[in-house]
Structure 1
Amino acid sequence: MKAAVINGFGEIPQYADFPDPVTGGNEKLVQVNAAVLENFDKGTSADTHYSSKTLFPKFPAIVGNDGVGITENGDMVAFGAVKPPYGAFAEKAAAGYAFLIPEGIDAADAAAILPSALTSLLPLKYAARLQPGETVFVNGATGVSGRIAVQIAKILGAGKIVVSGRNQASLTLLKTLGADETISLMQDDEKLSENITAAGGDNGYDVVIDFLWGHPAEMLINTFIPKEAGFAKRRIRYIQTGEKAGPHISIPGSAFRTSGLEMMGVGKISNEALMEEINVIWQLIKEKKLYMDIEKVALKNISEAWQRTELAGKRLVIVP
């Protein structure tokens, strides 16, 4: 079969022949229809993600962690947990898990929208426990996952959504997707702090979902430091989701003591809750309530697609 193959960490995948996967145990053989190209795939194959050596214990190997395809009995499924050295960017995959996709959903939509939607829905609903009417700040909303986060927050009943980002065209688009106020990160630190504080209003922010980390996170968190002594007047549930602006930040202790700031990740999610939310997302996709700019790229062009950097909020989906 044809596949996107690397012979070592940090290589650009090449379109090449690779032996067909052999299934064992409960694995399912899947004819791949679509697999989304995400930063996770680039990070794991570059050995910059903590799971890299688990996903790539030996080489040569195929990149890609999950996707959408057709099983031997003709069902269209979302699949993952592929067995090394096999990956999702191939004509066939050996899937450790596969769950049915309802009829009426395009394979590319299923592959691209589901993981991004879960990235926002699970932490907002189960970790931060977003309540109707609360104010949400989406840090780095101009990317693919950030755009979806705005839409998910709106669906969950957020009363006000403030977003930040660098791409002005994407910031403008976000107004149509549910954002109430937009803040450009292309301004000096003093002005940025003023605008973040002003957009939060008298009551500030209840929930933050952050796709950037790095310096933008430092600027945002510093605005939470109270100006007067006393106990915290509110809770700020801060979800750390991505690190496009850098993997490390410096936080003063005063940002925690009486601000009400609570830092969290996705949190513990039960399998029952996960499947329930997957079904919710399938329904949202069928009802066309989640917008994503998707571009399909042929598997044979994987090397070219891998090196693209300026996507302006577009998600690339690899199709064999």
Structure 2
Amino acid sequence: MKAIRMYQCGGPEVLKVEDMEKPIPGMHEVLLKVQAIGVNYAEVQQRKGTYPFPVPLPAVLGQWAEVVGQVAEAGEGVTNVEIGSSVIAQVPQGAYAEYVVVPSSMLLPVPHRLNLVQSAALLTQGQTAYHTLKSVGRIQPGETVLIHAAAGGVGSLAIQIARRMKAGKIIATASAPAKLELALSLGADAAINYSEPDWAKQVLECTGGKGADLILEMVGGDILQGSLQVLAPFGRLIYFGSASAVNEKWDRADLVKLLENKSIIGFNIAHFLTSRPESANAGLEHLYEMISADQLKPVVRHILPLEQAAEAHRLLESRQTVGTIVLKP
């Protein structure tokens, strides 16, 4: 089978297309023939060596990435799925491959209203969007939500979910006019270009000077610093990534801001899935309900062959994408 393997951290060029033996499913595991792989920014950080949880090298890339596949083989003790079934799953390690082994307990049916490519955006990115808003963000009806990188895989889903959770106002930020238009079309009330130096002032103007009650932040650097300035008293800032790869520095003024009863909460989807499986399952049920009611639809505009994984990473890092990037073996 073909797989994308890396022997060292670095730029996209470290991703190598290799022929490998198909893995063999063990007890309570299944072998999936992969049909689509959702690309996440976490894999870019894994490749660069900036991810908080380093991947042992050499490795097939894709730690806790989402795949859609067909059950090709079942190991001993598997009783909950049939050979040939189409499923979605989060792969603990090695998702960038034509075949992957996954515990049978982590399989879910493909939602009827989504095609295979759209389904590849549902688990990691869909769950991140849902749980940053609900489980850790504790969104309340009528609250103002600020969503950064709103045209990305997580952001585009978060806008739709926040609307279904009765947010009072949704403010989206992105880096280009086309991305801002997408955010508005998905349900955002206001769209701001965060590459403009006065973006934080624009957020305050949108909120009558109060700021946002809930902020979803995965850019880091200056955007994180500015977000703290526009966080309303008793507000929550959910920090779930640092695409800028900037080492965050806090001075006394930043810490004083927290004394205004503001909270910064870290979130990692892999840790959440393993530590709170019941909450993760409940979140998925709600995502499926929204999909069934035509209230949620992943945005997928970039589909590349598996062999072009390096190009997918280049596109993602250069901010030339909207929604989710999908690799197809």
Q: 2:165 aligns with which of 153, 156, 163?
A: 156
For residue 290 of structure 2, what is the amino acid of its counterpart?
A: L
Contact residue 118 and residue 298 of structure 2 kept, 8 A: no
Contact residue 26 and residue 96 of structure 1 kept, 8 A: yes
Residue 203 of structure 1 and its aligned partner are, at CA, apart by 4.2
Q: 2:258 aligns with which of 247, 256, 259?
A: 256
RMSD: 2.4
Contact residue 238 and residue 265 of structure 2 kept, 8 A: yes
Unmatched 5+ stretches in structure 1 = 225-232
Q: Could you tell me how far apart the structure 2 residues matched to 1:163 and 1:292 are?
A: 16
2:120 match: secondary structure: helix
**Would you say 1:283 and 2:289 are equivalent positions?**
yes
Q: Could you tell me how far apart the structure 2 residues matched to 1:63 and 1:110 are?
A: 20
Q: Which residue in 2 is equivalent to 1:80?
A: 90
Contact residue 82 and residue 94 of structure 1 kept, 8 A: no
2:243 match: secondary structure: coil
Contact residue 217 and residue 249 of structure 1 kept, 8 A: no
Residue 261 of structure 1 and its aligned partner are, at CA, apart by 0.8
Q: Could you tell me how far apart the structure 1 residues matched to 2:111 and 2:257 are?
A: 48
Q: 1:89 aligns with which of 84, 96, 101?
A: 96
**Would you say 1:17 and 2:15 are equivalent positions?**
no
The number of aligned residues is 302
Per-residue CA distance 1:211-256 (angstroms, 9 max, x = gap): 22210221232345xxxxxxxx941111112212334143522211
TM-score (structure 1 length as normaliser):
0.85
1:112 match: secondary structure: coil
Matches within 5 A, 1:125-274: 125-188=134-197, 191-201=198-208, 203-224=210-231, 234-245=233-244, 246-251=246-251, 252=253, 253-257=255-259, 259-266=260-267, 270-274=276-280
For residue 87 of structure 2, what is the amino acid of its counterpart?
A: V
Q: Could you tell me how far apart the structure 2 residues matched to 1:141 and 1:256 are?
A: 25
Q: Which residue in 1 is equivalent to 2:6?
A: 6
2:122 match: secondary structure: helix
For residue 22 of structure 2, what is the amino acid of its counterpart?
A: D
Name which one, 1 or 2, has greater alpha-carbon Rg. Answer: 1
TM-score (structure 2 length as normaliser):
0.83
Matches within 5 A, 1:301-316: 301-308=308-315, 309-316=318-325
Q: Could you tell me how far apart the structure 2 residues matched to 1:247 and 1:282 are?
A: 37
Q: Could you tell me how far apart the structure 1 residues matched to 2:149 and 2:247 are?
A: 14
Per-residue CA distance 1:167-190 (angstroms, 9 max, x = gap): 1221122112111122222333xx
Q: Which residue in 1 is equivalent to 2:47?
A: 45
